[in-house]
Amino acid sequence: MKLSLVVPCYNEQDNVELFYEECVKAFDGKVSDYEFVFVNDGSADDTLAKLKKLYNEKTESNITVVSFSRNFGKESAIYAGLKNSTGDYVSLIDADLQQRPEVVLEMLDVLENEPEYDCVAAYQAKRKEGSVMTGFKKGFYNLINKFSEVKLHADASDFRTFTRPVAEALIDMSEYHRFSKGLFSWVGFNTKFIPYEVQERNAGETKWGFKSLVKYALGGISAFSTKPLNFATYFGLLATCISLIYLIIVIIQRIFFNHAFSGYATIVVLILLFGGLQLFGLGIIGSYLAKTYIQSKNRPIYIAKEILKRD
């Protein structure tokens, strides 16, 4: 049984060595065969140098280093890691030690002893971020679960361990706009969710600001649902019905009661309202069109400048 650890690294110069040591401590004697697949996602610091040092010095370990030509994002890094992994089991784990390698042992235990499961996902038992962020994330999951065909576990991260068939299924999904949580749900398989305690980041800082999270969330919805596209249809239909009824009222009032309607303010408000709604609808269509456009170019998900691997 071989385990592959897929580790996306972006500006993690102060973490990768400690990460390696902690993993060795946790796995030696417990996991018979394991490999590290580090993906350097275009780091601007010394991450690549540190990874090369590990590769050259720790020859007793099975280490692969994939280095991107620029920053492609965590999702691309995960994809590259999966493609370069060879284990029967694959774990996705961050380089910053927020996710303890000991939890991977728990996950392996489930996969080995409960064969009905193909994937084990860890969820945060207690969220450590502020209540505004927690509320925002909850709202997002409610929204995406309502909108899309895939169902997402609100607290589950992409800290997971799964079998080779799951990894192959994910590799087969070569879409450009990747949203891992949705992909995991889409490919199916039986997933067990186990709680874990998220740790403080060892060094460096998170790459996720509020803005990038909102962008990620909206990307997640449009990647797995086309329901927002129906918005314009439904709303247009509703507005047409209401205005037809109103038109009939106006005609009847004019013919039978000789009553003329006035109202500058009403007209201005209605023009603004419908102008706004039309632009909103167009924007939604535009965002899907943009994704289709990018996907149709069939560009690679990542470009590896260098791959260090021992046979």
Contact partner, 10, from ligand UDP, Mg ion, none, Cβ < 5-8 Å per class:
ligand UDP
Exactly one of 3, 10, 13, 91 binds ligand UDP (CB under 6 A); that residue is: 10
Asked if 210 is part of the footprint of ligand UDP (rule: CB under 6 A), the reply reads no
Asked if 158 is part of the footprint of ligand UDP (rule: CB under 6 A), the reply reads no
Asked if 220 is part of the footprint of ligand UDP (rule: CB under 6 A), the reply reads no
Asked if 41 is part of the footprint of ligand UDP (rule: CB under 6 A), the reply reads yes
Nearer to Mg ion, 2 or 201 (CB): 201
Q: How far is the CB of 99 from ligand UDP (least distance, A)?
A: 8
Contact partner, 155, from Mg ion, ligand UDP, none, Cβ < 5-8 Å per class:
none
Asked if 150 is part of the footprint of ligand UDP (rule: CB under 6 A), the reply reads no
Nearer to ligand UDP, 74 or 83 (CB): 74
Asked if 118 is part of the footprint of ligand UDP (rule: CB under 6 A), the reply reads no
- Torsions phi, psi for 304 (to 5 deg): -90, 125
Site for ligand UDP in 72-111 (CB under 6 A): 73-74, 77, 94-96, 98
Contact partner, 35, from Mg ion, ligand UDP, none, Cβ < 5-8 Å per class:
none
Angle between helices 210-224 and 131-147 (to 10 degrees): 10
Asked if 206 is part of the footprint of ligand UDP (rule: CB under 6 A), the reply reads yes
Nearer to Mg ion, 99 or 148 (CB): 99
Q: How far is the CB of 180 from ligand UDP (least distance, A)?
A: 11
Binding stretches for ligand UDP (CB under 6 A): 8-10, 12, 41, 71, 73-74, 77, 94-96, 98, 206-208
